[in-house]
Structure formats: structure tokens, C-alpha cells
Structure 1
Amino acid sequence: MVIFVGAGPGAEDLITVRGQKYLQQADQIIYAGSLVNPALLDMKKETAIVKNSAYMTLEEVIQAICEEEEKGGLTVRLHTGDPCLYGAIREQMDELDARGISYEVCPGVSSFSGAAAALQAEYTLPSISQSVVITRMAGRTPVPERESIRAFAAHGATMVIFLSAGMLPKLQEELLLGGYTEDTPAALVYKATWPEEKVCNCTVGTLAKTGADHQISKTALIVVGNVLGESYERSLLYHPEFETEYRRKKGNV
């Protein structure tokens, strides 16, 4: 059996209770060592085998899983954040399907949630943005043209941009060409929820300079949008004149 476990955004106590239990039970842990907090490995049992997938190919990961399967052991494949985002788990699951190996996925707290917490921000504000675009710049991994930063920026929605802190000048250019203004609020969140977390508030027009000034070029999320500004409309959810199946109108307060 293989369990894909989301390790959470960084802080060791932000793994889910279910994920923690799987880590404690695992006979083999294959973890994304370049991103996962190694302190999580303190939860393992003494006999557990630990392998760092940063040094492994897909084929080597699958081979290690197959070897553990032959012994009847449980493998935890520990991914950063939530495995469904940039986790490359589909190709692993397809390989396991081809070999008849059972697996399941244990979700985790994504770093984009950790970034919102660090910013004390809400990504969806009435009259400002009701959509969140989670995307990345094209790099060695291409991005479909219809999903380019420029194309998404035209919507004016909140954007949370992964894997792009090393391309801030180009990212800034694409955001501006897509329709964001120079003074649109933005932020760089370095290693959200880790002890060394750093939050750098800026604007789209100062994004590249802010990254350079703070020497941020990796392991950071970029958040863009007017939800980081000051203006928004009050939500109807708790408004006294808004009626729900649980609450009647209460008039002006």
C-alpha cells in the first residue's frame, strides 16, 4: 500500500492528523527533501526507511515502492503542501496502477493557504475578487499559451503564483502587460509558516525590486490583487438585513 501524504506548507504541526498517523505507521518514507520540513521525519518509527526523492528519478521512486511492496510494507510518499498542486503525483499513480499497487491520497494544507495566513489576507472579497488563479510562470516546464500570466492577469482576479520567484522581472512585465496597474498590491511570501518566514508587501510595479532587495529568488509565493488593498464591501453573510435559512432579517444595526 502507498499513501500520498500532503506534508503541509512547512510548519511541522500543520500536517493533518491523518497524515501524521500515516507517517507514524510507515515502513518506508519517500519525501520531497528539497521542500518538506525534515522535522516531520521525527514522527517516524525507528525501523522506517527514509529516502529523499530530490535525488531520485520517477523510475527509482517506483522501484523503491515495489521493493517495499514485496515485503508487505507501507510506503508514505510525502509531498510538500497538498499533493494535488505541482506534486507530479499523476505519473506516480499511473505507474502504480500499471503494477496493480493500491494507493490513496491524504490531502494537506497548501502553501497558498499558508501565504494567506502570513499576509492575514482573504483571497475572495466582495466587490473586489471572487476568484483565485493558482498558476506559475513558464520555465523549463512550459505553460499553455491560454494559461499564460498575461492571459490570467486580464481577469483582474486574485493570483497566487508558484515556482516563479526566480523570474520576477519577467513576471512583473507579464502582469503589467496583462492589465494589472503599477500600483496593484502584491506580496512576496518566502517560506510561509516556516520559522524563517518572510513577508514582503509591495506592488506589481515594485515586485522585481522587492525580490532583489530582500534576496528572494526561490521558495516563495507571489500574491497579486486588490484583495491586498484596503477597500472592499461588507459581506452579506453576516449582514443584519440578509436572511438565511438559519437567521431572519434583523434590520439596521
Structure 2
Amino acid sequence: MTVHFVGAGPGAADLLTVRATRLLAQADVVLYPGTYLDPEVLAHCSPTADLVDTQDLDLAQIVGHLVAASRRGSTVVRLTSGDPSVYSALSEQGRRLTEAGVAWDVTPGVPAYAAAAAVIGSELTVPLVSQSVVLTRTQARSSAMARTESLEAFAATRATLVLHLAITRVRALMTQIAPQYGADCPVVVVHRASQPEQCVLRGTVADIADAVEDAGLRRAAVILVGRALANDGGESWLYASQRDRSSKH
């Protein structure tokens, strides 16, 4: 049998892919991250499915459930928040499943940063402002960051910056990036994008930490930083009226 890793998107029940909902409806066993998911997502599951909340399980326990269910002949879905390609522990789980002789595949989901950008109606790549997006996190109670991936190094690009798993350190992080982005650079924090508890905080590098602390946010938030968030950039060459559309590229 195959274990299906399925991106649950930002948490809203109506932001799953058609494939994801089909897999959930067919699954005998569903492991899900209760910390980040709107419970309504589980309404896509069969009423007879065995639902396992993984928020208090370690990696060995999670993989143990996946292997055991697969060997029983069950159809298994491992839900991840957002998209499995980013901060989902897919590599660790997939490696262990392969070692156990269990096949697995991946169904993508809406990433948290994309949901956050949609909530605020912002494009993260604005002509003449920023054409790159950096997705990163910071080190706290987590595995170490590579030396080449320091926040200061990423900030030096002045690309649109997306910080995951960083909300409890927002004040220190803004201090780190202020020399590159400037104190007046726009910052938006989106907590539980698309879910009923959604909260959006807007500010600047200088003052966003005050807003976050006043709101008491401690998890499930994405921090967006960059001049592109001001929505006042230039015109895209792709759609410019003066573009020679007869040229071939």
C-alpha cells in the first residue's frame, strides 16, 4: 500500500485540492497536525476513518502509525500543513518509510505564504521593486541553520522575505534586518490565514513587534517583509503596452 502525503493548505477546508479531498474521502487512516488545521478540513474524511492527531507525537511514533497502517492494507493519508515541500518533515518521514519498504507519494497543497499574500491582496514579486522571494525560518528550538543561510545574508538581497516559525522572535529579527530593509519597510503578519481565527497585522520593521506582542501571537503565523508589500511598483514588461509582441523568445 502507498502512504499519501497530502498538503492541507493553510487550514481552510475549502482550500484543499480536488485530489486531496478525494484521497481523504478514500482513506482508512488519516494522520493530521491538529495544531495548525481547521477541524473542518477533517469533514472531507470518511466517517469510518481512523483519525490520529500528531501534535503530541514524535517522528518515530508518527512513522510507526504510517507503517503499521500500511502493512494492515489500509489506505493512509498523512496530512501536512501548507505544502509538503516546505517545513513538513517530509524528507525524514519519507526516508524512514522507504527504509521500511513502504511506498509513498506527495500531493501538493496551498503554501502558507501564498495564502497570506492572498489575504492581503499582495503580489510578492513587483516589477522594479522585488523579483525574488526568500522563504526561510530562524533558529530557536529547532535544528541549526546552515552558515550560508543567515538572516542577514538573505536580508542583503532586499528580496521579499517570508519568515516561517519565527513569530516568537519577531522583535530580534526586525533588529537584524533593519540595516538592510530600513525601519520604514512594510511588514505584514498573517496569523492562521484563511481560518476563522485569522488575524492580520500591518506595520513596519520599526513597529511590527509591538503589534505582535500586543496581539499575543505565539504560533501559526507568517511574517512578510519587503517594499513589494506597499503595492506601488512599476509596470510588468510582460503586459506593457509598448512591448513588441511580434518578437519571439
TM interval, short-chain normalised = over 0.9
- State the Cα distance separating 1:246 from its structure 2 match: 9.4
Which residue, out of 171, 174, 182, partners 1:172? 174
Structure 1 residues 216 and 245, CA, compared in 2 at 3 Å: closer, same or farther?
farther
- State the Cα distance separating 1:207 from its structure 2 match: 1.8
Q: Which amino acid in 1 is paired with 2:147? A: E
Q: Name the residue aligned to 1:67.
A: 68
> Which range is displaced more, 205-214 or 92-101?
205-214
Q: Name the residue aligned to 2:196.
A: 195
- State the Cα distance separating 1:35 from its structure 2 match: 0.9
RMSD: 1.5
C-alpha separation in 1, matches of 2:46 and 2:115 = 28
Contact 1:160 1:223 in 2 (8 A): yes
Is 1:18 matched up with 2:4? no
C-alpha separation in 1, matches of 2:56 and 2:247 = 54
- State the Cα distance separating 1:230 from its structure 2 match: 4.3
Q: Name the residue aligned to 1:240.
A: 241
Structure 1 residues 103 and 246, CA, compared in 2 at 3 Å: closer, same or farther?
farther
Structure 1 runs of 4+ aligned residues shifted over 3 Å read 244-247
Structure 1 residues 184 and 74, CA, compared in 2 at 3 Å: closer, same or farther?
same
Q: Name the residue aligned to 2:220.
A: 219
Aligned residues: 246
C-alpha separation in 2, matches of 1:134 and 1:244 = 34
User: Deviation digits for residues 29-56 of structure 1, max 9, x if unmatched?
Assistant: 0111111222111121122111111121
Superposed, 1:50-199 pairs within 5 Å as: 50-141=51-142, 142-177=144-179, 179-199=180-200
User: Deviation digits for residues 189-229 of structure 1, max 9, x if unmatched?
Assistant: 11111122111110001121121222223211110000012
Q: Which amino acid in 1 is paired with 2:200? A: V
Q: 3-state DSSP class of the match of 2:34? A: coil
C-alpha separation in 1, matches of 2:46 and 2:140 = 39
- State the Cα distance separating 1:145 from its structure 2 match: 2.7
User: Deviation digits for residues 123-169 of structure 1, max 9, x if unmatched?
Assistant: 00111000000011111222123212111111111001001111111
Contact 2:30 2:49 in 1 (8 A): yes
Contact 1:4 1:79 in 2 (8 A): yes
**How many percent identity over aligned positions?**
35
> Which range is displaced more, 21-30 or 51-60?
51-60
Contact 1:6 1:80 in 2 (8 A): yes
Q: Name the residue aligned to 1:251.
A: none
Q: 3-state DSSP class of the match of 1:113? A: helix
C-alpha separation in 1, matches of 2:56 and 2:218 = 22
| 5+ long unaligned stretches in structure 1 | 248-253
Q: Which amino acid in 1 is paired with 2:188? A: A
Could you tell me the TM-score, scaled by structure 2's length? 0.94
Could you tell me the TM-score, scaled by structure 1's length? 0.93
Structure 1 residues 101 and 244, CA, compared in 2 at 3 Å: closer, same or farther?
farther
Q: Which amino acid in 2 is paired with 1:61? A: I
C-alpha separation in 2, matches of 1:65 and 1:216 = 32
Q: 3-state DSSP class of the match of 1:30? A: strand
C-alpha separation in 1, matches of 2:109 and 2:209 = 30
C-alpha separation in 1, matches of 2:231 and 2:177 = 21
Q: 3-state DSSP class of the match of 1:228? A: helix
- State the Cα distance separating 1:244 from its structure 2 match: 3.3
- State the Cα distance separating 1:231 from its structure 2 match: 2.8
C-alpha separation in 1, matches of 2:16 and 2:157 = 33
